């Protein structure tokens, strides 16, 4: 989700440090899953997901076909961005232009558009795919300054109210499911509170931890009030993630406000991914959270070499992307138990590889590429499918993400 800032970008210095690291050992084993339990297949494997953003949600791509392909490729969960500024662009019903009023729902006096997430939720549920919504981007009326989308919400309660409305709609007793009785109910049980707040371009107040924890507290209260069994997922932390996590723990009361830690372990080599997660695990253990799970909510190597300037040290070729993906997936499984790693999400399912004057490396991060009106399948997709199905103990999947064919 490049344009909206869903990018974990690791510092070149850290990439250099991890370049020479070897793999980390560890035994496989079972951990508690935070996603929808999979019926009909071995339940002990990691939750395997992909980010769905960019062109795959656009008007020129067949979303249903892509979701069918995702299911057959072993994807069990979709991480999707929920843009607060787009869902609630107006503070009151009186501000909504008359021509737009039919697309808004009154949520506590704030007009709210659910159509974009409704579309994804219905298509995903039909295939047994769970969702991990990451809720971000401040609307102008709730912002502290002119750069609204990156503004730290000055009124955490407004963010909390929006997240609570999402849980009331898509959670276990959500109005979305009752209004779609023919649709299999796959309620959302995980909610991610913002993304990469350690970056000033995504969170305007730095150091981020004190203000982020205030917003996290509001979201936690709203989520648990609406669904006491829901999992509150911390914002994905990139770069020196273990240090940023320690800053969050240092805020009094923060430890009680999240159920799962989310990390974006971007680095040059697969062994470095495990090293980053191990450093995060050590911080959690020292903080008294040895039993709390981890999710890697963004992992990728963009196939940007020869297409975009070298950025952040993680670019490679299409063949290199497939090779690195094929190395990291078994490493994640071998180290899953000792890290208490519940699963991972590949960033991203489909990148926008269309020609443009200023190319960006992460446009090439997808397992598929969208290039000037055409969808192109990359060699990494076959590798992802082979490993995902193996880790899920499935020979194949056809109609449902939760059942082996």
Mean pLDDT of the chain: 90
Q: Name the residue among 162, 145, 129, 156 with its Cα closest to residue 217.
A: 156
Encoded tokens for 28: 């496989």
Task: Indicate whether 187 belongs to any domain.
Answer: yes
Strands 368-371 and 374-377: antiparallel
Percent above pLDDT 70 for the chain: 88
Q: What is the pLDDT of residues 69-90, one digit of tens each?
A: 999 999 999 999 999 999 999 9
What pLDDT, on the 0 to 100 scale, is given for residue 44? 64
Total domains in the chain come to 1
Task: With both helix axes pointing from N to C terminus, report the angle between 241-249 and 270-286 in degrees, rounded to the nearest 10.
Answer: 20
Residues 6+ apart with CB under 8 A from 146: none
Task: Indicate whether 256 belongs to any domain.
Answer: yes
Task: Indicate whether 2 belongs to any domain.
Answer: no
Q: What is the pLDDT of residues 147-166, one digit of tens each?
A: 666 789 999 999 999 999 99
Task: Indicate whether 400 belongs to any domain.
Answer: no
Specify the range with the lowest mean pLDDT, choosing from 139-153, 156-170, 308-322.
139-153
Task: Indicate whether 397 belongs to any domain.
Answer: no
Separation between Cα atoms, residue 195 and residue 192, nearest integer Å: 8
pLDDT bucket at 309, cuts 50 / 70 / 90: confident
Strands 110-112 and 105-107: antiparallel
What H or E segment, with its residue span, contains residue 311? none
Task: Indicate whether 405 belongs to any domain.
Answer: no
Q: Which domain holds residue 236?
A: 12-26+35-391
Q: What is the pLDDT of residues 345-371, one digit of tens each?
A: 999 999 999 988 888 999 999 999 999
Residues 6+ apart with CB under 8 A from 395: 389, 404, 405
Here the CATH number for the domain that contains residue 327 is: 3.20.20.80
Residue 250 has pLDDT above 70, yes or no: yes
Task: Indicate whether 292 belongs to any domain.
Answer: yes
Separation between Cα atoms, residue 351 and residue 293, nearest integer Å: 29
Percent above pLDDT 90 for the chain: 83
Residues 6+ apart with CB under 8 A from 208: 152, 197, 198, 244, 247
Calculate mean pLDDT across residues 315-337.
98
What pLDDT, on the 0 to 100 scale, is given for residue 327? 98
Task: Indicate whether 16 belongs to any domain.
Answer: yes
Hey, is 253 helix, strand or coil? coil
What pLDDT, on the 0 to 100 scale, is given for residue 226? 98
What pLDDT, on the 0 to 100 scale, is given for residue 328? 98
Residue 290 has pLDDT above 80, yes or no: yes
What pLDDT, on the 0 to 100 scale, is given for residue 359? 85
pLDDT bucket at 53, cuts 50 / 70 / 90: very high
Could you tell me which residue, 2 or 161, shows the higher pLDDT? 161
């Amino acid at each position: 989700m490049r344009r909206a800032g869903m990018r974990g970008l690791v510092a070149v210095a850290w990439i250099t440090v991890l370049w020479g690291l070897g793999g980390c050992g560890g035994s496989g084993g079972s951990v508690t899953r935070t996603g929808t339990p999979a019926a009909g297949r071995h339940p002990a494997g990691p939750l395997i997901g992909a980010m769905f953003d960019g062109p795959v949600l656009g008007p020129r791509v067949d979303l249903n076909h892509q979701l069918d392909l995702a299911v057959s490729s072993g994807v069990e969960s979709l991480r999707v961005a929920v843009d607060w500024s787009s869902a609630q662009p107006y503070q009151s019903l009186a501000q909504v232009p008359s021509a737009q009023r039919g697309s808004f729902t009154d949520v506590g006096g704030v007009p709210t558009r659910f159509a974009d997430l409704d579309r994804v939720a219905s298509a995903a549920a039909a295939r047994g795919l769970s969702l991990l919504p990451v809720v971000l981007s401040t609307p102008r009326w709730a912002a502290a300054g002119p750069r609204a989308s990156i503004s730290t919400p000055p009124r955490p309660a407004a963010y909390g109210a929006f997240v609570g409305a999402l849980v009331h709609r898509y959670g276990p007793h959500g109005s979305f499911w009752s209004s779609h009785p023919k649709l299999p109910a796959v309620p959302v049980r995980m909610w991610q509170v913002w993304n990469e707040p350690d970056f000033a371009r995504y969170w305007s107040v730095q150091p981020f931890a004190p203000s982020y924890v205030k917003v996290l507290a509001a979201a936690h209260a709203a989520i648990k009030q609406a669904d006491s069994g829901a999992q509150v997922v911390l914002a994905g932390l990139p770069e020196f993630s273990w240090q940023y996590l320690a800053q969050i723990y240092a805020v009094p009361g923060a430890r009680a406000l999240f159920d799962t830690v989310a990390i974006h372990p971007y680095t040059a080599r697969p062994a470095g991914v495990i090293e980053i997660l191990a450093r995060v695990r050590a911080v959690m253990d020292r903080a008294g959270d040895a039993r709390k799970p981890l999710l890697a909510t963004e992992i990728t190597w963009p196939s940007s070499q020869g297409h975009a300037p070298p950025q952040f040290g993680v670019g490679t070729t299409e063949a290199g992307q497939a090779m690195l993906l094929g190395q990291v997936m078994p490493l994640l499984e071998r180290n899953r138990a000792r890290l208490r790693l519940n699963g991972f999400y590949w960033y991203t399912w489909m990148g926008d590889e269309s020609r443009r004057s200023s190319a960006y490396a992460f446009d090439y991060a997808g397992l598929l590429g969208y290039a000037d009106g055409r969808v192109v399948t990359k060699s990494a997709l076959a590798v992802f499918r082979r490993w995902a199905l193996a880790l899920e103990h499935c020979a194949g999947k056809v109609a449902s993400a939760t059942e082996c064919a």
